[in-house]
Amino acid sequence: MKSLSSLGTGLGYGARAARHKLAIVAVAAMATLPAQAQDATVTIAALGDSLTQGYGLPPEEGFVPQLANWLAANGHEGVEVLNAGVSGDTTAGGLSRIGWTLTDDVDGVIVALGGNDLLRGIDPANSRSNLEAILAEVTGRGLPVLLAGMIAPGNYGPEFKRDFDAMYPELADRYDAVYYPFFLQGLGMGTDPGAAADLMQPDGIHPNAEGVAAMVADIGPFVAELVERARD
């Protein structure tokens, strides 16, 4: 398993879990809303990998519960976030399950995939095709989407990095997605992965609860924009 420092800002984090079924767990931002407010609940599905799933953390400290809590604390009441993260998943895995993730209850989608494509050195053209198909499926149903990007390390070569890094902003523009450039930018690593050591679990790959809180605080306003689009 490559560490964060070995991949630089590409951030290899995709520990492959031995799981064959995805349990989508609903985390309500406001569990005791009155009936009228519950009728107006906005449901956001977070499609991702181990970072979204909350690998190595108690359920309440993972990305999805912390995001739901952040939204509620910042005035975005009546928001439910669905955990559609699977550890080790690639863009191809996300594409394979996007159809049944988009239940009738879903009002918007966060797409945070691509890190495990990096770990495996998958051709960026394949990753791009998968992400585009996911975005086409979501927007084809009239749903707003937030696309969270990743950054390729330099050791894959300049052409790989160019193509991988470019696909996120280009696809976000094409599908009018809320664009969040780098899913882990809230950790404040910049060009030095070691700067986030205190925010990582002992594996040096996944953020700890404090690290997740930093991620959520940074991406939160972008998710709030997604929620507002879903309400419109």
Please list the active-site residues: 50, 203, 206
User: CA triplet 204, 206, 207: central angle to 5 degrees?
Assistant: 100
Burial class (CB in 10 A: 0-12, 13-18, 19+), 23: exposed
**And the tokens for 160?**
């790989």
Q: Please give the full DSSP string across 3-47, using - where no structure is assigned.
A: -HHHHGGG---------S----EEEES-TT--HHHHHT-EEEEEE
Question: What pairing do the DSSP bridges indicate for beta strands 42-48 and 79-85?
Answer: parallel
CB 46 within 8 A of CB 83: yes
Instruction: Please tell me the distance from the alpha carbon of residue 118 to that of residue 150, in angstroms, as a whole number.
Output: 9
Question: CB of 68 within 8 A of CB of 28?
Answer: yes
Rg of the chain taking only CA atoms, in angstroms: 17
DSSP string, 118-129: HHTT--HHHHHH
What are 187's two structure tokens?
Answer: 């950790």
Provide the 8-state DSSP code for 94. Answer: H
Q: In sequence order, what E strands does 115-197 have?
A: 145-148, 178-180
